[in-house]
Structure 1
Amino acid sequence: MELKDENLINIHNFLPHREPMLMTDYILELTQEKVITSFKIEKDNIFVFNNEFVEAGLIENLAQTCSSILGQSFFQNPDVETKVIGFITNIKKIEIFALPKVDDIIISKASLISQFDKICNIFCETFLNDELLIRAEINLFIQEVK
């Protein structure tokens, strides 16, 4: 997926996460049922060990990506002060195939399986180019942060 400046939504404006826990950079695509984000692995990231982005970092990246699906109503008006945070309530299944390295840009994709109020079940994957790094099905709870 080509990253074009005019198509990027800066996720920093919408997630309450800040350094060192912010694990997504941009929203590349967002609909009611799916989201795609990008993230560049920096050498000073707290989840980098021996030049690799470790498993916990991949999981946090997926959780922040998934938060966008339920939290997107807050993205429509950048002047709104309300922000959202997602909490993983359950990881139903997870498979980790490879770890990205420093300076890699990973693309995470999440698709809504089901939703009840602020709780959702989401299927998500992260890629480095065409290589699948992680695949998971998680439950997330979204809470407003004022």
Structure 2
Amino acid sequence: MDWKDTPITNLIPQRPPFVMVDRVLSCDEVDAVAEFTIREDNIFLDDMKLAPAGIIENMAQSCAARMGCINQMRKESVKIGFIGDIRDCNILRQPRCGEVMLTTVHIVEEVFHLTLADVSSKVGDETVATARIKIALTDIESKE
């Protein structure tokens, strides 16, 4: 399925101004790629760069967007999830305003409502951040 034209708020529970993903470029059961342009009105902007908290939030929302795609493929509603754990987080540099960040989610393991993912964010060919994130998915449906 082509996700590029699907409104991101159909895939994630977050709402502006807290949306840190613009669109999903690709998604399947194991991998997803999300795109995000750093803009001047971003609430996580620090000296015209995306703050570390914004980078981590982008990674978590990219995981949520992947799950939203999976939910839509299964004809289920989008559910709310929570970050359960972040390990091996390396922020190599903060993306600047105007830069486009691509975040790749690779599922390592899914057990019941827990998902373990390796996540990396790039600007062009440059890796700007990596982390291993554990997400706990609830049965609570996102309010649209």
Q: Same fold (TM over 0.5)?
A: yes
CA distance in 2: counterparts of 1:12 and 1:69, whole angstroms: 12
TM-score by length of 1: 0.87
Deviation of 1:77 (Å): 7.3
SS at match of 1:100: coil
* Aligned positions, number: 139
TM-score by length of 2: 0.88
User: How do 1:119-138 residues align onto structure 2 when only pairs under 5 Å count?
Assistant: 119-138=114-133
CA distance in 1: counterparts of 2:74 and 2:44, whole angstroms: 32
**Are 1:52 and 2:49 an aligned pair?**
yes
SS at match of 2:14: coil
SS at match of 2:55: helix
Matching residue within 121, 132, 136 for 1:141: 136
State the partner residue of 1:12.
9
Deviation of 1:126 (Å): 0.2
Q: Which runs of 4+ in 1 moved over 4 A?
A: none
Matching residue within 91, 97, 113 for 1:118: 113
Q: From the superposition, tell whether residues 70 and 14 of structure 1 become closer, same or farther in structure 2 (CA, over 3 Å).
A: closer
Matching residue within 20, 25, 31 for 2:22: 25
Percent sequence identity is 24
**Are 1:69 and 2:71 an aligned pair?**
no
Unaligned runs of 5+ in 2: none
Deviation of 1:71 (Å): 3.5
CA distance in 1: counterparts of 2:110 and 2:71, whole angstroms: 17
CA distance in 1: counterparts of 2:21 and 2:105, whole angstroms: 13
CA distance in 2: counterparts of 1:108 and 1:119, whole angstroms: 20
Letter in 1 for 2:133: I
Deviation of 1:12 (Å): 1.9
Unaligned runs of 5+ in 1: 1-5
Q: From the superposition, tell whether residues 74 and 53 of structure 1 become closer, same or farther in structure 2 (CA, over 3 Å).
A: same
Q: Deviations over 1:82-104 (max 9, x none)?
A: 32232110112111100111111
RMSD across aligned positions (CA): 1.8
